[in-house]
Chains A and B, each alone.
Chain A
């Protein structure tokens, strides 16, 4: 395997794994206060799935000759990134639904083509992950449908959450193609199948009818159907904000990483115990 190809994949797969693990936090905060036991079970199962996705992806990365512990160190020392979307706060239970609908929806748009990516272990992990993500997206959308059928206050919560998550969701596809340093090389190698802008367009086109059905407004005055192109035109995300968040100045960057670091450091004695026990067992059988 060419070294540059390997390095690119390690970066992409480990960032993806980190995103799954950090992505547990914004929604995980709501499990304890979920407003019905059914919603609690759905959300707990979803956040558990994300831990599972992180596990497969770290395992896929390990086939490239890196070590999970080392990748975790890179995350908690801020040497590797994760999806910037998770640096925004989740302010109400409607956010749980909107994260499922828009954030998981955008993730699916990004990830379904990756089921055909050129590195087998990554592609195979994506098949299972996409199935579970599509489940999460539907659960999120179903929560929003129920909330929109509820009280006026609930409808306001949903619209408020849509207003806050719409633009960050569009930014999940990365910078515009003209400013995406890695896209061309990754496409040549068959790691990436579509460009950022193509995926973003696909997401917008899929989401608009879903928003109409739901009865919410997407917060973009420039969003309009363009019959000539056969696509929706839409406004330009605030790329300066994205740069700030990627740089680490988002609303929740510091908290997300420090929480992951705290859990990892607090758990060190447990992992050491497991290692010591395994060694004793091995010695006993030799």
Chain B
């Protein structure tokens, strides 16, 4: 295709990659992975578990999208959008797996667009208002450290699909944590003003962190089957990581994560989730017969 006419092929019939001017070079994330439900794994439980992990990612991604055109610097525009994209990608795979595991055949969009708030399984930390940049940093520091610890273990899940999704996610989450650690250091050890804003943000986020480590009965059951991870088992590791980062950033060592019972995982949400979902679902629900 000549450089002067890179879009002349637009109206021609092509298969697959050839439609794109330069090819996509993409491979399917789950190419070659056996999607059959392994013997002994409860499909209904696995589906709910995939929604828990998928909804955390989808809702946090939707919050991060609020930074688009509003970030403090262009590099942060690119990075925050990238983190949002990675989490969206994780959500899509997890929700699609949920629809396979429960036998309903629902696709990713059925879960994202056609469930009401009480059927979402995300933790409150992900649905809390966006806040300022320090708040985003504090939230992502805890969330990416937690998710990285969980996904690292899930890479050995007895469900091959969940294992593949986690293995892919580990690399992404390691980058998210690296990015947010760098900003924790800059804000904490930057100016007195940024130090104060980060300290306030960590204090504001802290009451929401305990829920990440509260074990839902379904998580306990799946952990026993070697499919899922008991989040209580990563509490010490995540606390150590976060403490090391905050201390290096000249902030006070944090309190232990608060003890907390399950809420979002059972569909009990704050008032912040419904408007977030209303915006996410608006166009899809306005045009129920449409194809996109």
Contact = CB atoms under 8 A, between A and B. Distances in A.
A141 B10 contact: yes
Contacts of B82: 48
B186 A36 contact: no
A39 interface: yes
B109 interface: yes
B6 A51 contact: no
B interface secondary structure, majority:
helix
A83 B276 CA distance: 32
Nearest to B281: A33
Given A21-B74, A51-B74, A153 B290 contact: yes
Given A37-B88, A134-B21, A206 B7 contact: yes
Contacts of A280: 189
B92 A37 contact: yes
A15 interface: no
A24 B78 CA distance: 12
Interface string B183-206: 001110111011001000000000
B11 A135 contact: no
Contacts of B108: 37
A130 B71 contact: no
Contacts of B225: none
Interface residues of A, number: 69
Interface in A243-286: 259-260, 262-264, 266-278, 280
A52 interface: yes
Contacts of A36: 109, 113, 284, 292
Contact of A270 (B72, B74, B287): B72
A21 B74 CA distance: 9
Interface stretch (B38-46, B60-68, B239-247, B261-269): B60-68
Given A21-B74, A41-B85, 4 more contacts: A44-B81, A147-B290, A150-B290, A153-B290
Interface of A: 21, 24-25, 28, 31-41, 44-45, 47-48, 51-52, 54-55, 58, 93, 105, 108, 112-113, 115, 130-131, 134-135, 137-138, 141-143, 146-147, 149-151, 153-154, 206, 209-210, 213, 259-260, 262-264, 266-278, 280
19 contacts: A28-B69, A32-B62, A37-B95, A41-B89, A44-B85, A45-B85, A51-B81, A55-B74, A137-B10, A138-B10, A142-B19, A147-B291, A206-B7, A259-B70, A263-B69, A264-B72, A270-B76, A270-B133, A274-B186
Q: Which 7 pairs show the lowest CB-CB distances between chains A and B?
A: A267-B72, A273-B190, A273-B194, A270-B72, A48-B81, A51-B77, A134-B21
Interface of B: 3-8, 10-11, 19-22, 58, 62, 65-66, 68-78, 81-82, 84-85, 88-89, 91-92, 95, 108-109, 112-113, 132-133, 185-187, 189-191, 193-194, 197, 279-280, 282-284, 287, 289-292
